[in-house]
Amino acid sequence: MVDKLYELTIHEAHKLLKQREISSVELTKAVLERIEKVENKIRACVTITEDVALKQAQEVDNYIHGGNIAPLTGIPTLIKDVICTKGIRTTCSSRMLENFVPPYDATVTEKLKAQKAVVVGKTNMDEFAMGSSTEHSAFFPTRNPWDLTCVPGGSSGGSAAAVAANEAIYALGSDTGGSIRQPAGFCNVVGLKPTYGRVSRFGLVAFASSLDQIGPITKDVTDCALVINAIAGYDPKDSTTVPYAVPDYTLNLIPDLKGMRIGIPKEYFVEGMQDEVRITLVAAINKLHELGAELDWEASLPHTKYALAAYYIIAPSEASANLARYDGVKYGFSEQSASNVVEAVEKTRQFGFGSEVKRRIMLGTYALSAGYYDAYYLKAQKVRTLIKQEFEQAFQRYDALVTPTSPTVAFKLGEKLQNPIQMYLSDVCTLPINIAGIPAISVPAGFAQELPVGMQIIGKPFDEATILRIAFAYEQASGKRRKPPL
């Protein structure tokens, strides 16, 4: 009998399930018991669906015969609470949707169910995915399993913390400016933001529609490949997905990098980067050279310095439009004390949204307003084009680019809450990738100040295979995964 079933990876659990050495019910119960043990410390979950999960697990055990099962069959997962789950409340960690139960599944949820995955709950997040620390949840902050006084990153902090703490075998997150990769880096797990259009956004509650992507948060790179295999692909319900064939990403997981050309853009080693993080990253990148890759430390993406400003015009502008639908009339929270319709909408939005969401709505509304549209929004879109072109030029020379995931390790809870600019700078290395719509993955690169450091590997559009190969080779060479002291 395997000890601590909750510590298994997807591929390890799949092998045991296939060989009938464990059952899905045993695995699910182990994960639920783990949640019960550590959740009061981590606070990673908004909703636990114990009854649903055990029923799904029992159905899997009744179904498994002949050993021919899909890679995710019977394996417990958590889903970020911005992704719709039919019959299970989807709150976006907001008072506005606190009691909202979707009548349909997101496409990614359907795809997990098609493989008979077991959903054990929904994870905490920054409200409407707006934040870098999971402190902007309307319910409670999530804590980092490596240091309970630190943030797990955001906005998918609940998903990353849960996977790091073994509260699920894997999780889904969403990434608008780094919201999968930054918490993955802070929590010592693997997080992939796919190319824009690779994974359906149908059923993902919108923050910024031209930037959002759903992706996996996993314990290792092999698991990451298995999950993206399951959720990627064209979806007629999402007109931004592309009808490209989805390769089997596990076929590219080979442990050497011979012939690879990798650029290290100097602009990502930003002012204010912690010295220990820099040292850890340089050592990790040098390991890629040992594995056969050719490195160019003089790679340059000069427009990177404008990405933060452009992002914080484009994303709030799209949020301002997307969040206009929350008016207290059709669904969600509705303030009943108003004397007329206009006051009802105003009060609903006043009490239904948190401070960070209101800040971004106001920023976006201002940028889109008459007299400012050309000066701000239009200019930001032009900068976006320059950033995208710069990446295209870089990928004519390199197979991939490597950068820090974040310039710092996880910061203390409350440390940046009163300084939004400092909080926004946490994503300075990740948000250019969303602006360009290209794929990137964060993998554990070591530790600084006893806290995890992430390495970000950036790829060409729809070339997730290459960045997974680099991530896998590095992971295999860097030794056994460390677990948090829980």
Write down the mean pLDDT value for the chain. 96
What tens digit of pLDDT does each residue of 136-163 get? 999 999 999 999 999 999 999 999 999 9
Residue 63 has pLDDT above 90, yes or no: no
pTM (two decimals):
0.97
Catalytic residue among 132, 133, 137, 179: 179
Judged by DSSP in three states, 231 sits in: helix
Residue 65 has pLDDT above 80, yes or no: no
Residue 233 makes CB contacts below 8 A (sequence gap 6+) with: 111, 199, 200, 241, 246
**Average of per-residue pLDDT across 278-304:** 97
Q: Is 266 a catalytic residue?
A: no
Residue 66 has pLDDT above 70, yes or no: no
CA dist 406 to 89, 182, 187, 423, Å? 32, 6, 12, 12
**Average of per-residue pLDDT across 297-325:** 96
pLDDT, position 1: 56
What tens digit of pLDDT does each residue of 326-343 get? 999 988 999 999 889 999
Banded pLDDT at 367 (limits 50, 70, 90): very high
* Long-range CB contact pairs, 462-466, < 8 A, 24+: 462/195, 462/197, 462/198, 462/242, 462/244, 463/195, 463/439, 464/192, 464/194, 464/195, 464/198, 464/228, 464/232, 464/249, 464/439, 465/247, 465/249, 465/252, 466/252, 466/260, 466/399, 466/400
**Average of per-residue pLDDT across 315-325:** 96
**Average of per-residue pLDDT across 373-377:** 94
Q: Among 80, 75, 95, 76, which residue's Cα sits nearest to residue 46?
A: 80
Rounded Cα distance, 269 and 272, in Å: 9
pLDDT, position 67: 67
Residue 2 has pLDDT above 80, yes or no: no
pLDDT, position 149: 98
Q: Is 347 a catalytic residue?
A: no
- Residue 424 identity (one-letter amino acid): Y
Q: Are 19 and 76 in contact (CB under 8 A)?
A: no
Catalytic residue among 94, 132, 155, 334: 155
Per the document, the length of the chain is 486
pLDDT, position 481: 82
Q: Is 426 a catalytic residue?
A: no
What are the sequence ranges of the domains in the chain? 5-263+399-478, 305-382
5-263+399-478: CATH superfamily: Amidase signature (AS) domain (3.90.1300.10)
Q: Where are the beta strands (DSSP E) in 54-169?
A: 76-80, 118-123
Banded pLDDT at 482 (limits 50, 70, 90): confident
What tens digit of pLDDT does each residue of 406-453 get? 999 999 999 999 998 899 999 999 999 999 999 999 999 999 999 999
pLDDT, position 485: 86
What tens digit of pLDDT does each residue of 67-105 get? 679 999 999 999 999 999 999 999 999 999 999 999 999
Instruction: Please give the angle made by the CA atoms of 460, 465 and 471, to the nearest 5 degrees.
Output: 95
Bridge-based pairing of strands 440-448 and 294-296 is: unpaired
Residue 342 makes CB contacts below 8 A (sequence gap 6+) with: none
Q: Are 153 and 111 in contact (CB under 8 A)?
A: no
**Average of per-residue pLDDT across 360-383:** 95
